[in-house]
Amino acid sequence: MRRPTRISPRLLSAAFAAVLAPTVQAEARTFQSSAGPLKVVTVARGLDHPWSLAFLPSGRMLVTERPGRLRIVTRNGGVGAPVRGVPRVAARGQGGLLDVVADPDFARNRTIFFSYSEPGRGGAGTAVARARLDGNALTDLKIVFRMAPKSRGGRHFGSRIVIARDGALFVTLGERGERRRTQDTSIHRGQVIRIARDGSVPKDNPFVGRKGFRPEIWSYGHRNPQGAALHPVTGKLWIHEHGARGGDEVNIPEPGRNYGWPIIAYGRHYWGGRIGEGTHKAGLEQPVHYWDPSIAPSGMAFVTGPVFETWRGDMLVGALGFRMLVRLRFDGTRPVQEEMLLEDLDERIRDVRVGPRGYIWLLTDSEDGRVLRVEPSR
């Protein structure tokens, strides 16, 4: 029987945070970089393991919390009550409410897409839902993708969503910690999938009509991709994925290609053993960049707009492992420069976005997670 006299301190803290957030004074720290001094402003805090951030035309933001809450955050840091209508999530391990993106035509249709670890028969699996945001509630919710089969455990859901220029959805799927099943294309494990916004399969997907392949598969042989973004010039999808003990990769997924996990990999198993057959094998793709040791990458964005002109076109990657922001410059697909930023912030960076005005936005992964804005310190 529930005891009404016991109130969770976490619930009390969250309730007070929701009320007081609009009046929280912004905190700021300054860090050095190749673009000059950077000011990192705390816009909002008190979020429980925030995972993803999406901008709305009004200037407000959608922020997911991994335990299963979706929040609207105002420009001045006000954190709203949880949005109603979010489906139940399997909030264990790395699972929960994960990515969120707004439809390009949100101002007219109020549509958002979000990914989450969906509980069900066999355990949990990555799912993608489409819904309409009406005030502080979701309506007309439809599941447009479900990982099959579901499995036990709380690892490697992937879950980044990117809307391509043609309107299709790219969704990254982790291999759920089942590396021996990653090369099985009759199921969903370790892939980038491509679907239409209504959940149907585009006719020009590479494996449509091919026996032994799920038709929504775009590329496969991935481990756990938790960063994805469109290149601002080419419009191509770029992703990064977690390695094991070393071997985090940046890839440009081409249709129908196999990216090798776990047959080839850079790095080793956590217990020190060799992974697969080495780093190269005919017919398997090579990453355009890799990290060894692992930085545990999460979140990705390309720098656009005039605010950070000297970094225009560079890739930004959050690092959970070394608690920093990484900047990568490519000449085409060849990495030519890498810079470690905000190392003294001492926060696990879960998501990275470049906002409509060109500022860099970050989410920190903790029980007191923050929304941060990075801007030049003038």
Residues with catalytic annotation?
156
- Angle subtended at Cα 64 by Cα 245 and Cα 135, rounded to the nearest 5 degrees: 165
Q: What is the largest CA-CA distance in the chain?
A: 65
C-beta of residue 245 within 8 angstroms of C-beta of residue 225? no
Q: Which residues pair with 173 in a beta bridge?
A: 191
Residues whose CB falls within 8 Å of the CB of residue 220, separated by 6 or more in sequence, listed in order: 182, 183, 185, 190, 191, 192, 258, 259
d(CA 130, CA 145): 9
Residues 6+ apart with CB under 8 A from 210: none
Number of H helices, E strands in the chain: 2, 24
Q: How many CA atoms lie within 13 A of 222 on its CB side?
A: 36
Task: Render 302-316 in DSSP notation, one character per residue.
Answer: E--SSTTGGGTT-EE
Closest C-alpha to 220, from 194, 246, 247: 194
Cα–Cα dist 19/309, whole Å: 38
Q: Are 362 and 372 in contact (CB under 8 A)?
A: yes
DSSP string spanning 75-127? TT--BPPPPBTPPP---STT-SEEEEEE-TTHHHH-EEEEEEEEEETTEEEEE
Residues counted in the chain:
378
Residue with tokens 């860099």: 360
Q: Check residue 344 and report its DSSP letter.
A: G
